[in-house]
Structure 1
């Protein structure tokens, strides 16, 4: 979309506190994977935590629950986001998500177009997620299926139970 970038929010709930051995491999690789994302062609912006090594966005708790970990970023295009998610080492960690994250009974991923230069807030992103849950895909809030140009998600998407 001309003059716009693609924002995405992905919310996960880790299976244990960030200092627990069950999530140690995930936590140990956060900086590496986030750093890779920031160097990708088409990357625009990412919500950050305190910047303390190995913490990622874990300080941005949702609803006061420190186990909810939001990932909020902005990309030039859907293709750029897809390339990062499924065309880099990130995919290896994506494929292991069941080790570190609970299966959520509700939709936990949303995308929407933002004007170039806009950095969405977590509250804005959560509002978009709620809109998607209530109304389904629309130009206001959508999932991968709403983007005609997106292709990689079709063979890499979550099982239906994880995104209902």
Structure 2
């Protein structure tokens, strides 16, 4: 059975969307999403964010990305290559720090489309339990195959 990598990323903008200090970020999202969608490892991205549910789960003011990738290597290739890497370096200009993990990865069966509630559950699991085969991040994606 094939599996796919689900990816969830949560951010808290420092300023409202209409604030000129956020203009460069919002202007670049379409371009960056287009690059992601053309990547050979990209499968799917949620296009219509569920802001009411997001506000219910985390509180007001957050943004997120929920996507599917072929594997960890594909996601890393997209994230750490220009131009995405350039924008990631500017994250402190646009987003407040979050005191808990804000990115979570997990494996899903091919054909499964992850939900925002599922992402919330996985992120909470990563925060409360730590990295596991069910919820991990990029720094813990090479877990051993047998856990003792």
CA deviation digits over 1:70-103, x for unaligned, max 9? 1111100101000100013111100100000001
In the other structure, the counterpart of 1:60 is 51
Asked if structure 1 preserves the Cα contact closer than 8 Å seen for 2:4 and 2:69, the reply is yes
Q: Using structure 2 for the length normalisation, give the TM-score.
A: 0.88
1:107 Cα deviation after fit: 1.2
Unaligned runs of 5+ in 2: 144-148
Unaligned runs of 5+ in 1: 50-56, 150-164
SS in 2 for 1:63: helix
Question: Pairwise mapping of residues 1-164 of structure 1 onto structure 2 (< 5 A)?
Answer: 3-49=2-48, 57=49, 60=51, 62-64=54-56, 65-148=59-142
Figure out how many residues of one structure are paired with residues of the other and give that number.
140
Going from structure 1 to structure 2, the CA distance change for 1:66 and 1:33 (only over 3 Å counts) comes to: farther
Asked if structure 1 preserves the Cα contact closer than 8 Å seen for 2:55 and 2:61, the reply is no
Asked if structure 2 preserves the Cα contact closer than 8 Å seen for 1:16 and 1:67, the reply is no
Q: Using structure 1 for the length normalisation, give the TM-score.
A: 0.80
In the other structure, the counterpart of 1:52 is none
Asked if structure 2 preserves the Cα contact closer than 8 Å seen for 1:17 and 1:66, the reply is no
How far apart in 2 are the matches of 1:131 and 1:6?
A: 17
In the other structure, the counterpart of 2:146 is none
How far apart in 2 are the matches of 1:144 and 1:85?
A: 11
1:66 Cα deviation after fit: 4.8
